[in-house]
Amino acid sequence: MFYREAGQFKSSYKEDQAVFPILQDRIGIAILLLVAFIGIPLFAGDYFVGAIMTPFLILALAAVGLNILTGYAGQISLGTGAFMAVGAFSAYKLATFSIALGGAEATLPLILTILLAGVVAALVGVMFGIPSLRIKGFYLAVATLAAQFFIEWLLVKVGWFTNYSPSGVITAPPLVVLGYEFHTPAEKYLFTLTFVVVMAMAAKNLVRSHIGRGWMAIRDMDIAAEIIGFRPLQTKLTAFAVSSFFCGVAGALWAFVHLGTVEPEAFGINRSFSILFMVIIGGMGSILGAFIGAAFITLLPIFLNNVPPMIGWNIGVDMVAHLEFMIFGVLIIFFLIVEPHGLARLWTIGKEKLRTWPFPY
């Protein structure tokens, strides 16, 4: 009843192939964007905006990136953290390099810096994607760990990447775009949100294009895809490139916008794992799923951690943390049993139901 698409006729191919062909979807997205762009910065507190929403959005962006590689192109990767690190450190090098050249005024525009950092990450991603032509499945997942550990090590070891800072920790320069400095949590949040929305839309369109169809063909069966004319080399490597670009941008945002300082450990193996979890829990092959998964993996533990003190249950922070772990684990299993295809699938099913509700037949 609420979700009827009857009467919405498409009279051109363009309309038929729109990203959101159904009116209700368009309204829903518009409302969501309004809330995200106006509602949250206006009404939510600094804690919610700065410590919850901003990191969530950045990790969701990385999850979108990994979802392109794992969900659409079928290549499991555990090198996400490393590609984020490449993005973060490239952005830092680009930013400080331009400071060194022409003083603080002549810096490379911030947005360009971040995008270029993504490009560098893409190149590195392609390099480490080459073994995927031979290695498949979990073997590939473990092989990408080689990238993870190697890049982490390289960034710690080579002083040039950190401008010879004694401890290998970089402090990001201030966020200035066209002379305007993004300072408060809300401003930083909006900065991140803009990036994330634009890039998520780009990803959504990309996976609907012929490139995306190539990825999916490779995922479903690479030999068959090869036979019908997709080149595995190019298809897989573009997936690695695009995915790493997203991860690189996410890494740069994490360093510049969220933490303001970055050490390679911030992009360690745990980061790679948690982003893979987001993709699987959220739903492989779904951009929406990346967001839902990121929410599940980042917000749920924080929420669980907040509950016992909130309801006045005084059991000590260590016990809370243990409970958080246990409940989180149980919920992962619970959701997998309820819907193995990810939380995004629940949304799809929900839509189906709403379409006919309250008269199922």
Partner 1 sequence: MSLKKFVLGAVGAAVLAAPLAAPAPALAEDTLYLPKLVYRTGPFAPGGIPTANGASDYWAMINERDGGVNGARVIYEECEFGYNTDRGVECYERTKTNHGGALIYQPYSTGVTYALTDRTRTDKIPLLTMGYGRSDAGVGTAFPWVFPLMTNYWGQATGIFKYISEQEGGIDAMKDKTIALVYLDIAYGKESIPIFRTMSEKFGFTLKEYPVTFPGLEQKATWLQVRRARPDYIVMWGWGAMNQTAIKEAAGIRFPAEKFIGNWWAGAEQDTVPAGDAAIGYKSATFNVAGKEFPVIQEIVKHVYGKGNGAGEENVGQVLYNRSVVTQTFIHAGILAAQEKFGVKAITSEQLRWGMENIKIDDATAAKMGITGMVPNIAPTCEDHIGGGSFFIQQWDGKKWNLVSEPIEPMNDLVVPAMQETADKYLKEKGLEPATCG
Partner 2 sequence: MEDFVIEFMFFLEVLFSGLLTGTLYSLVALGFVLIFKASGVFNFAQGAMMLFAALSLVGFQEMLGVHWTVAFLLTVVVMILLAWCVEKFVLGKLVNQEPIILFMATIGITFFLDGFGQTLWGSDIKPLDIGLPTGSLDFGGIFVDQLELVAGATAGGLVLGLAIFFNKTKIGRALRAVADDHQAAMSVGISLRNIWIIVWSVAGLVGLVAGIMWGSKLGVQFSLSLLALKALPVLMLGGFTSIPGAIIGGLIIGAGEKLAEIYLGPFVGGAIENWFAYMLAMVFLLFRPQGLFGEKIIERV
Residues in contact with partner 2 by CB under 8 A are 76, 131, 134-139, 142-143, 145-146, 149-150, 152-153, 156-158, 221, 223-224, 227, 269, 273, 277, 280-281, 284, 318-319, 321-326, 328-333, 336-337, 340
Residue 303 binds to partner 1 (criterion: CB under 8 A)? yes
The single residue among 112, 133, 307, 315 that binds partner 1, judged by CB under 8 A, is 307
The Cβ-side half-sphere exposure at 263, using a 13 Å CA radius, reads 6
136 binds, among partner 2, partner 1, none (CB under 5 to 8 A by kind): partner 2
**DSSP secondary structure string, 30-88?**
HHHHHIIIIIHHHHS-HIIIIIIIHHHHHHHHHHHHHIIIIIIT----S-HHHHHHHHH
The nearest distance, CB 315 to partner 2, in angstroms, is: 11
Q: What does the block give as tokens for 264?
A: 């390679």
Q: From the CB of 343, what's the least distance to partner 2, in Å?
A: 12
**Residue 113 CB, nearest distance to partner 1 (Å)?**
14
**Is position 323 an interface residue for partner 1 (rule: CB under 8 A)?**
no
CB 94 within 8 A of CB 108: yes
- Find the part of the chain contacting partner 1 (CB under 8 A) among 47-55, 61-69, 110-118, 125-133: 47-55
Binds 71: which of partner 1, partner 2, none (CB < 5-8 Å by kind): none
What residues from 51 to 70 belong to the interface with partner 1 (CB under 8 A)?
51-52, 55
Residue labelled with tokens 């603080």:
104
Rounded to 5 degrees, what angle do the CA atoms 231, 233, 235 make?
A: 65
What is the x/- site pattern for partner 1, positions 126-165, by CB under 8 A? ---------------------------x--x------x-x
User: Which amino acid, one-letter code, is at 106?
Assistant: A
48 binds partner 1 (CB under 8 A): yes
Of 89, 2, 75, nearest in space to 276 by CA: 75
208-267 positions binding partner 1, by CB under 8 A: 258-261, 263-266
Token couple for 88: 């973060």
Spacing of C-alpha 294 from chain mean position: 8
Spell out the residues 6+ positions from residue 321 whose beta carbon is closer than 8 angstroms to its own: 305
Binder of residue 313, out of partner 1, partner 2, none (CB less than 5 to 8 A by kind): none
Q: Please say which residue, 213 or 341, places its beta carbon nearer to partner 2.
A: 341
Who contacts 345 (Cβ-Cβ below 8 Å, separation ≥6)? 283, 286, 289, 339
Distance in angstroms between the alpha carbons of the first and the last residue of the chain: 12
Return residues touching partner 1 (CB under 8 A): 44-48, 50-52, 55, 96, 99, 104, 153, 156, 163, 165-169, 171, 173-174, 183, 258-261, 263-266, 270, 299-303, 305-307, 310, 316-318, 320-322, 325, 338-339, 346, 349-350, 353, 357
